[in-house]
Amino acid sequence: MSTAFKRMQAVKQHLSPEQEHANAVDPVVSMNEERAKAGFDIRAMTILMDGGEKNTILKEKIMQELERDPLFKMDDIHDISKDELRERTMEKFRSMLYHLQNESVDTFKKRMEIVSLIDPGFWTRFGVHYGLFVGALQSNATPGQLGYWFQKGAISLNGFIGCFAMTELGHGSNVPGLETTATFDEASDQFIIHTPTLTATKWWIGGAAHSATHAAVFAQLIVRGKRYGTKCFVVPLRDPKTYNTLPGINIGDIGKKMGRDGIDNGWIQFTSVCIPRSYMLQKHTKVSRTGDVIEPKLQQLTYGALLQGRVTMVADSGHFSKKALSIAIRYAAVRRQFSSSSSNIETKLLDYPIHQRRLMPLLSQTFAMLFTGTEMTEMYNLMMTRLEGAKEGDSDLDEVIEILKETHSTSAGLKAFCTWNCLDTIEACRQACGGHGYSSYTGLAAMYQDFAVQCTWEGDNTILTLQLGRYLISSYREAINGKKLSPGVGYLNKLDQLIGKRCSVKNLEDILSPEVITEGWEVVCANVVRNASLEFEACLKKGMQPDDAYEECSQSRLYAAKLHSFGYLFNRFADGVAKVSGNLYDILIKVCLLYGLYSIEENAGAFLQYEYFSPAQIEFIRTSVNNLCKDVREQAIPLVDSFNLTDYMINSPLGRKDGNVYVHYFDQVKRSNPQGEHPYFDKLIKPLITREVGYDDDEDEEAGLEEEDEDEDED
């Protein structure tokens, strides 16, 4: 028990009953009480989760700069129109350009990570150019081409704004099926970019409607009538001096969206638009002046750079979840509802076991995603380091390709798993705030609308989960042929030990161990992957082609991939906690066990089906989840404080750090909706209620009571 908590208890002993009641229901006092319960060093937890004190200090510096920047004013964001929002979003470019040109790459990445939590729409609009367009150049251009486009203004944004034109009206996840064509005209040494059908119209293109001067267009390469697959071409769209569209370019606005309206998504059609041959980005596939096509021998090595977005979204899911939970948990710590028969003081929402059940497992899941996001980022960086130097004939080429395959599949599965989890978390937090959660000013509705797109962009979540399932089946087949697998699927090398294995603990309390939980997930995952693989093999024996067989067992693939992701997330969390000591370990091991046991409870059917746990053990796990929810609840506010998000970052009166939610909420409502003359009384209401209806005004004196009066007289 902390010194601050003891001091508060001592003060309470000298209060009158009236003063004690007033103190008890004061939200600021309630929040201070919660904060005084801290059983760990909050600052040390922040530094741990940020990856070091240097990162924490940098993050705080950036948060303060953004809060003081008038271009990043956010308190009125819920009351402005789409056009006003787009204009304000574009205005922020000026501020970001300064930092882009004066900060290191790592510092600017941290700045953009923070910006994404404050204003996802701006983050997207800025990221379309610097993340997607420039990223396409870096991934697909030769060194000479990269230098050319940078010199043209791609980095400085001088007379140049790029967009990323991959998605079409009729095609999204199926990139090889894109219809836009790029046909090489040998006579003019040009490519002709063309939209042959309505469904080939480029769609959802961020920045296209009003901003972009150039597009990275993905189109089918056609040379001498032969198709060579989807390649990337830089196509000018507008004259940068007049912003008039260029000949053959037709652009429109796709209008209001579910969220992120700060970005001007548009559609593009190309009608026989000619571009120089050099505007095809030829780092990998090359087309010569005479129409010779040279394709890379190691095509798979070109895919690595495309994974960055997925990896980022795993970490983003943790960051957005902690923002949502900061709001819901802080509100639950001060909101009181109903009182027990023994007290006239209403109970905090956070003290109700059912409310703990709503939020504490999500808090544990968020920590799991944060730990996993860190490891996923490290895995991606390691992979890119290896890929940059990889070439045909290298002695370690097979190992590099295996790392690429694992990173590709793991990032696909985790992107889907974590973004789904985050979206569910935001909605659960909104509902946990009751009626006030429905207000735009509490921030959760807009957060849901802004985050929902993460479940479909950079790959539809179901498709990505199936990709992981396909990798798991492939890994299983390799394992039974004796191949040693990468660590993420290493459990498939132990099939003979795991199939049929049961939990062997002598005492139920021994289940409360990361090792037991890890083994349980390995057993269940080995079984479901095996079942999916056997189903796949049965389809092949029926004469199906491999692709058809994979589709036939898609439900089993999806199920296997989801359970694998549960286990993977827990293992990364447990690995991270094992490296911690002291009072940080004491609280994190409880949070980790809560996530592990809750995820087992949520998938109890699989653990019972494969008989790793008995019904009695599952019942013990349910009870343990209840107990751990209570334990974590006691540290909920300190844990949320360790996220180190300022009130400006959270931008919600219900998530204010001081707990004074009602004052802040009421002030925001009054400030955002000033009282004045009635906006439509004379036009609409007055004509409605003053119309002639044919009754005597004298009847108003009785107001319907005349019959009741007559009844009383008769009595």
What is the separation, in whole angstroms, between the first and last Cα of the chain? 69
In the predicted model, is pLDDT for residue 475 greater than 60? yes
Supply the pLDDT for residue 380.
84
Question: What does the H/E/C string look like for 553-617?
Answer: CHHHHHHHHHHHHHHHHHHHHHHHHHCCCHHHHHHHHHHHHHHHHHHHHHCHHHHHHCCCCCHHH
Report residue 675 CA to chain centroid gap: 38
Amino acid at 673: N
Q: What angle do CA 266, 267, 268 make, to 5 degrees?
A: 125
* Confidence bin at 158 (pLDDT 50/70/90): confident
In this structure, the dihedral spanned by the alpha carbons of residues 655, 107, 409 and 218, taken in order and rounded to 10 degrees, is 110
Rounded Cα distance, 615 and 500, in Å? 16
Most confident of 68-77, 106-115, 458-467, 615-624: 615-624
* 192 bridge partner residues: 183, 274
**Any residues with CB less than 8 A from the CB of 695 and at least 6 apart, and which?**
none
Supply the pLDDT for residue 139.
83
Bigger pLDDT: 681 vs 394: 681
**Which is the catalytic residue, given 34, 458, 519, 522?**
458
Bigger pLDDT: 230 vs 396: 230
In the predicted model, is pLDDT for residue 471 greater than 80? yes
Helix, strand, coil fractions of the chain, as percent rounded to 5: 65, 10, 25
Question: Is 675:683 a contact under the CB 8 Å cutoff?
Answer: no
Paired tokens of 312: 């980022």
Helices 105-118, 308-334: crossing angle, 10 deg rounding: 50
165-177 residue pLDDT tens = 999 999 887 888 9
In the predicted model, is pLDDT for residue 698 greater than 60? no
Question: Is 512:555 a contact under the CB 8 Å cutoff?
Answer: no
Nearest in space to 319 (alpha carbons), one of 377, 262, 265: 377
Active site residue 458: yes
141-156 residue pLDDT tens = 999 999 999 999 998 8
**Based on the number of CB atoms within 10 Å of its own CB, is 460 exposed (0-12), middle (13-18) or buried (19 or more)?**
middle
Question: Is 651:443 a contact under the CB 8 Å cutoff?
Answer: yes
In the predicted model, is pLDDT for residue 435 greater than 90? yes
Percent of the chain with pLDDT over 90: 70
Nearest in space to 43 (alpha carbons), one of 30, 32, 52: 52
List alpha helices for 433-581, DSSP H.
444-451, 461-480, 495-498, 514-541, 546-552, 554-578
Rounded Cα distance, 409 and 87, in Å? 39
Rounded Cα distance, 81 and 76, in Å? 11
